[in-house]
């Protein structure tokens, strides 16, 4: 939750008319991460994947709202796909373990 607040605070002035939609999206992504943490998966795959997803989105926001984010362009897609992969594989492995 702190990460989401820091990112939103850092781009707040650049949002303009996008303020409400961006805050709503940030709340939804934060809720997803918190849900993954509280879901009680046997292994941390899903949680790690869920944490990578907002990192990817914040790198996109950094570029879009003119913040300095070194290597952002190189890290957006790897963090996104690795996050999605970890969520999917972690969920499927957990379901297989629990039968």
State the Cα–Cα distance between residues 70 and 59, nearest whole angstrom: 9
State the Cα–Cα distance between residues 99 and 87, nearest whole angstrom: 18
What pLDDT is stored for residue 50 in this prediction? 94
Comparing 2 with 45, which gets the higher pLDDT? Answer: 45
State the Cα–Cα distance between residues 46 and 49, nearest whole angstrom: 5
State the Cα–Cα distance between residues 13 and 98, nearest whole angstrom: 47
List pLDDT tens digits, range 20-50.
Answer: 998 899 899 999 999 999 999 988 999 999 9
What pLDDT is stored for residue 99 in this prediction? 67
Q: Domain segments of the chain: what residues?
A: 2-98
Q: Label residues 39-55 b or e (16+ Cβ within 10 Å = b).
A: eebeeebbbebbbbbbb
List pLDDT tens digits, range 48-71.
Answer: 999 999 999 888 887 777 666 677
What pLDDT is stored for residue 88 in this prediction? 95
Q: Does the pLDDT at position 74 exceed 80?
A: yes
């Amino acid at each position: 939750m702190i990460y989401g607040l820091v990112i939103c605070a850092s781009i707040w002035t650049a949002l303009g008319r996008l303020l409400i939609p961006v805050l709503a999206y940030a709340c939804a992504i934060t809720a997803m991460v918190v849900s993954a943490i509280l879901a009680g998966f046997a292994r941390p795959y899903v949680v790690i994947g869920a944490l990578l997803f907002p990192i990817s989105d914040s790198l996109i926001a950094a570029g879009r709202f003119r913040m300095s984010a070194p290597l952002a362009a190189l890290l957006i897609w790897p963090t996104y796909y690795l996050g999605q992969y970890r969520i999917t594989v972690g969920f499927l492995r957990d379901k297989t373990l629990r039968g």
